[in-house]
């Protein structure tokens, strides 16, 4: 399987370092499964597509390998890695612990303006239930990041990125195959608890929400078995 880079209008910003931009573009494509597991990535083709040299592409590949998203095989090429279930489970465990504390803090300090912001995000999610999975999941990211900001942990949200990557690969697959209405219901319950200042209730609802991926794994692995590995070989 070879890469297809023609379906998104990403453009390199010449005023910024190229390698981090390429890493971001390719990471997001892999997380969304636009570049499916097993896809061979060509330095030459990617460099040509983004009108850059091969060196920043090579640097981006190294970062993608460190993030567990691609496998660089000497003399054979670079390939998108399949999703490691063990990594997903570990990420879910840590993320749940962190976001449980975040949502409690949000419930204790939310303002009326911030409550309206969360309501606006929920409204956009309801409107996007039948839209593109990528757009729906972008709103999901906005939802969780906004709660972190309300909790005073906006700057720390980036530290969860490496944890979210493998988990988000499963979440994107589930968003394309499973009913999204249930995710909106869960988000709504979290927001109502936050707005009520119910820290215990908000934590409980957030934990239930983040454990949803554990229920989704058997469904998406059955639908896309070629996307997953049970353990490192």
Query: Residue 107 CA to chain centroid, in angstroms?
Result: 24
- In this model, does residue 93 exceed pLDDT 90? yes
For the structural domain made of 18-81, what CATH number should be given?
1.10.10.10
Percentage of the chain lying above the pLDDT 90 cut: 68
CATH 2.60.40.420 fits 84-229, yes or no: no
Give me 98's structure tokens: 């962190």
- In this model, does residue 213 exceed pLDDT 70? yes
- In this model, does residue 233 exceed pLDDT 50? no
Residues of the chain with CATH 1.10.10.10: 18-81
- In this model, does residue 5 exceed pLDDT 80? no
* Residue-level pLDDT at 178: 72
* Residue-level pLDDT at 47: 94
78 DSSP β-pair partners: 41, 72
- In this model, does residue 72 exceed pLDDT 70? yes
Most confident of 23-27, 86-90, 165-169: 23-27
* Residue-level pLDDT at 3: 64
What is the rounded distance in angstroms from the CA atom of residue 128 to the CA atom of residue 119?
A: 14
* Residue-level pLDDT at 156: 79
Q: Which contacts (CB < 8 Å, 24+ apart) does range 118-123 have?
A: 118/143, 118/146, 118/147, 118/150, 118/191, 118/194, 118/195, 119/191, 121/146, 121/187, 122/184, 122/187, 122/188, 122/191
Cβ atoms of 148 and 76 within 8 Å: the answer is: no
80 DSSP β-pair partners: 70
* Residue-level pLDDT at 2: 55
Summary mean pLDDT of the chain: 90
The whole-model pTM stands at 0.83
DSSP string for residues in 171-229: HHHHHHHS-SHHHHHHHHHHHHHHHTT-HHHHHHHHHHHHTHHHHHHHHHHHH-GGGEE
233 vs 68, residue with greater confidence = 68
Q: What is the helix (H) or strand (E) element at residue 16, kind and residue range?
A: none
36 vs 230, residue with greater confidence = 36
Write the pLDDT tens digit of every residue in 109-151: 999 999 999 999 999 999 988 888 888 889 999 999 999 999 9
Looking at the chain, list the stretches that DSSP marks H as alpha helix, in order from N- to C-terminal side.
18-31, 43-49, 54-66, 85-109, 112-127, 133-150, 161-177, 181-195, 199-210, 212-223
* Residue-level pLDDT at 231: 53
* Residue-level pLDDT at 4: 63
Residues of the chain with CATH 1.20.120.530: 84-229
Write the pLDDT tens digit of every residue in 145-199: 999 999 999 887 877 877 788 888 998 888 877 778 999 999 999 999 999 999 9
* Residue-level pLDDT at 187: 97
Question: What SS3 class is residue 74?
Answer: coil
Of 52, 34, 30, 35, nearest in space to 43 by CA? 52
Tell me the pLDDT band of 6, cut-offs 50, 70 and 90: low
């Amino acid at each position: 399987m070879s890469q297809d880079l023609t379906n998104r209008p990403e453009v390199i910003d010449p005023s910024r370092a190229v390698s981090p931009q390429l890493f971001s573009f390719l990471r997001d494509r892999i997380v969304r499964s636009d570049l499916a597991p097993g896809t061979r990535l060509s330095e030459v083709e990617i460099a040509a597509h983004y009108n850059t040299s091969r060196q920043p592409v090579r640097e981006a590949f190294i970062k993608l390998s460190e993030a567990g998203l691609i496998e660089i095989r000497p003399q054979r090429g670079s390939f998108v890695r399949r999703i490691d279930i063990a990594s997903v489970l570990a990420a879910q465990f840590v993320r749940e612990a962190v976001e449980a504390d975040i949502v409690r803090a949000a419930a204790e300090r939310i303002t009326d303006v911030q409550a309206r912001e969360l309501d606006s995000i929920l409204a956009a999610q309801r409107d996007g239930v039948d839209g593109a999975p990528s757009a729906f999941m972008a709103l999901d990211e906005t939802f969780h990041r906004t709660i972190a900001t309300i909790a005073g942990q906006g700057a720390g949200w980036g530290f969860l990125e490496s944890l979210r990557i493998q988990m988000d690969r499963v979440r994107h697959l589930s968003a394309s195959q499973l009913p999204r209405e249930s995710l909106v219901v869960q988000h709504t319950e979290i927001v109502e608890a936050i707005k009520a200042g119910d820290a215990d209730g908000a934590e409980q609802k957030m934990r239930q929400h983040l454990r949803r991926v554990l229920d989704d794994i058997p469904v998406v692995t059955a639908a896309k078995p070629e996307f997953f590995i049970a353990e490192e070989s």
